[in-house]
Structure 1
Amino acid sequence: MMKTTLPIKSMIVVGLGASAAWWLSSKPNRIKAESKLRDLKRKVKPTPFHKSESLPIQKGGVPHPHDMEDNKMVDEGALYSVKFYNEKMQ
């Protein structure tokens, strides 16, 4: 039984592949297929760009001048880059 179904299944797969290649050979059909796949991808995994307004950003760029921990972190980051530059130049 396995020997007779294997060639039939493989012929069906080859036929489907050949018909898909023939259908995708024209540019309008390729454009349709790409748009359908793009829509399907958006449905399966939505992009985060739609939710960009609800991102959990509390301090977005300008730290408060009295926030000492944040200012210390920025200061240490600046010193690290200056130290790295000085070591590279020497």
Structure 2
Amino acid sequence: MKVNKTLLVGATVTAGSLGWLLSSKENRNHLHNMKEGFMTKIKKRKSEDLPVEKGGNPDPQNIEDNSMVSEGAMTSVQYYNEKKQG
């Protein structure tokens, strides 16, 4: 089995860097704090996206939105019919 030399060098450098990074307690703490900050940002972003104001309750007077939804619905029906018939 032939191994790509670039891939092998990249994996070696990555493993070496990770080993060096985790060798110090200070570096491990820094990495842990970065991970926690990243996870906090993700959770905050998710909570900002919810609740969806119009989810499941389209306004009957919003013609553009309703036509977009009906076109999307017809696209999926058309795709299903083509797969079943073709």
| Length-normalised TM-score, structure 1 | 0.47
Instruction: Provide the TM-score with structure 2 as the length reference.
Output: 0.48
